[in-house]
Chains A and B, each alone.
Chain A
Amino acid sequence: EIVLTQSPGTLSLSPGERATLSCRASQSVTSDYLAWYQQKPGQAPKLLIYGASNRATGIPDRFSGSGSGTDFTLTISRLEPDDFAVYYCQQYGSSPPMCSFGQGTKLEIK
């Protein structure tokens, strides 16, 4: 089973700043099979990035994803008040067919 470790656990930043969130896999992940989600309190998660670097429909271009192998990054270029939430990475694979999420990074207002 592939374990995803996200860092930092909590990130304190101000609106307008740049956020860099990390997702590290215990073994290599196919980039096509890596996604990022945003979850706000009391809400279901929302797909932001799929295939490591592709923005989902309606996601603003201040969100970007990158990485390969075992290291992936979600970058939010200029934080807006609505961006403060918890972010999760997700991967899935075919051998064996399994799926896992990282433990999350909480992005909070400084």
Chain B
Amino acid sequence: QVQLVESGGGVVQPGRSLRLSCAASGFSFSSFGIHWVRQAPGKGLEWVAVISNDSKNKYYADSVKGRFTISRDNSRNTLYLQMNSLRPEDTAVYYCARLYGGTWFVDYWGQGTLVTVSS
């Protein structure tokens, strides 16, 4: 079955960096685009970034542009999110989420990993 498992979350000081990973299994990873979507504690969903199946296309929310980088390694079935210059407002559960067909809708989500930015 389709599985997406995020890791790499934790507590980090403002201004520091963190890299999240998302390990995929149960489907042909190299055939699907993937989002990162985050959710601050008790808040709604916020789109972060998306990457196409072949890494040729990457798009970011304005709130993270220039600080976060999305990438993937299809040989390892793994998605990444490099987060630099972290701010307290980046505190959230980060989900990786598989794109549905040729759309930007999501048919499968991971369980999420919590990132806390605090001094």
Contact = CB atoms under 8 A, between A and B. Distances in A.
- Interface SS, A side: strand
A81 interface: no
B45 A45 contact: yes
B106 A45 contact: yes
Interface string A63-75: 0000000000000
A56 interface: yes
A88 B37 CA distance: 13
A103 B44 CA distance: 5
Contacts of A37: 45, 106
B103 interface: yes
A101 interface: yes
Interface in B53-77: 57, 59, 61-62
A45 B109 contact: yes
Q: How large is the interface on A (under 10, 10 to 19, 20 to 34, 35 or more residues)?
A: 20 to 34
Interface string B17-57: 00000000000000000010100000011110010000001
Interface of A: 1, 32-33, 35, 37, 39, 44-45, 47, 50-51, 56, 86, 88, 90, 92, 96-104
For the complex of A and B, the 3 pairs showing the least CB-CB separation, nearest first, are A44-B109, A92-B104, A99-B47
19 contacts: A32-B103, A33-B103, A37-B45, A39-B45, A44-B95, A44-B110, A47-B105, A47-B106, A50-B103, A88-B44, A90-B47, A92-B105, A98-B61, A99-B50, A99-B59, A99-B104, A100-B47, A101-B44, A101-B46
